[in-house]
Chains A and B, each alone.
Chain A
């Protein structure tokens, strides 16, 4: 699981163009939006694209997205349970 979280962080860094950021700098349990990493609504769209392209997961319900993108821990768990590829 730890290896997968690191892979996920690298994918997020690339997708959101977080230049110069290392996976270690992203706290597994810190909020991704608002405080913590400080991502915004356009980033959430980029994350939806990331989930669909890399794992075949479609997030269509905004309430579900809010829960899934809460932290790296939540994202990793959700992907492992629902991934189609």
Chain B
């Protein structure tokens, strides 16, 4: 039985109508930006960290503009610009993002200044960029739009809330499209703090060995993802049927709620063609993934994604970006395969992710 606390903690999206993904863009450790696909040659982690593969920003901004942009502002702006361009939209009805930590490099710079200069006169630029919603503001300014503009900062639920907000806007008829997404970065200092907290593996591990490492900890990652969501099916890559989030569920609650989530959308486990799950190589959380993967049928493909993008608060953005491309192209990347199934026609894809066992999320997608 689902406990009362869990019932209160999760946010059901089953009253919300499906939305459609018109375009999707990703900037992460892999060169996903150049061809808007997962490259054949993958970049491996260096000392258990997968860091941004940066696009050529000088194609988008002048030196005078770039000088005041932090690394996360640059990834965010460029991903948003290309996502909107792909969709042929210059003025979205809403700009909604999620981030677990925002611009850590600017936050650290600002905090360092406070300490170094004894809370005296501080530089304005790192302060401006350390605020979570600065990227959203810049996207709005760049596109000359003063539409609905919100940033969610809810750790492992940040991206989910940005998407749910967009879905709610559509359901209420307040928007027909929305630029939604997430952005995250890792700094050397923050890496060390999280290492001390047991987030990363002790010994260096290669990406391709991560999921069979059999130890605790994972590899860190960073990524920026943007999606143009719309309420109509025209020219869509994929359909996002719903999202279900759960906070610290037991294994039994996880399975029961996942089954209920599928049922609410008229599906059963047997209908799932692909499970794309967030195994991060940390044995402390392996049981959650084993429990869910045990439910999918033999013919379904089981894919993982964090060995490619690393672990971070909004890593599910990579899964959503990849899922939209799988459904559009009907191609399953071999490098993500945990278990190859036989399903040829991909109609229903389930993403399951959890962030260090606390924030759990299911995304149901289809075509």
Contacts and interface: CB of A to CB of B under 8 A. Distances in A.
B120 A17 contact: no
B2 interface: no
A20 B64 CA distance: 11
A53 B118 CA distance: 11
Nearest to A39: B64
Contacts of A48: 121
Contact of A38 (B64, B121, B122, B123): B64
Interface in B48-78: 63-64, 66-68
Contacts of B123: 15, 45-46, 49
A17 B67 contact: yes
A53 B121 contact: yes
A42 B124 contact: yes
Interface in A20-74: 20, 38, 42, 45-46, 48-49, 52-53
Contacts of A20: 63
B181 to A, nearest CB: 26
Given A19-B63, A20-B63, A42-B128, A52 B68 contact: no
Which of A17, A18, A48 has most B Cβ within 10 Å? A17
B14 interface: no
B157 to A, nearest CB: 33
Classify the interface of chain A: helix, strand, loop or mixed: helix
Interface of B: 63-64, 66-68, 117, 120-125, 128
A46 B124 contact: yes
26 contacts: A15-B123, A16-B67, A17-B67, A17-B68, A17-B125, A18-B63, A18-B67, A19-B63, A19-B66, A19-B67, A20-B63, A38-B64, A42-B68, A42-B124, A42-B125, A46-B123, A46-B124, A46-B125, A48-B121, A49-B121, A49-B122, A49-B123, A52-B120, A52-B121, A53-B117, A53-B121
Nearest to B63: A19
Contacts of A15: 123
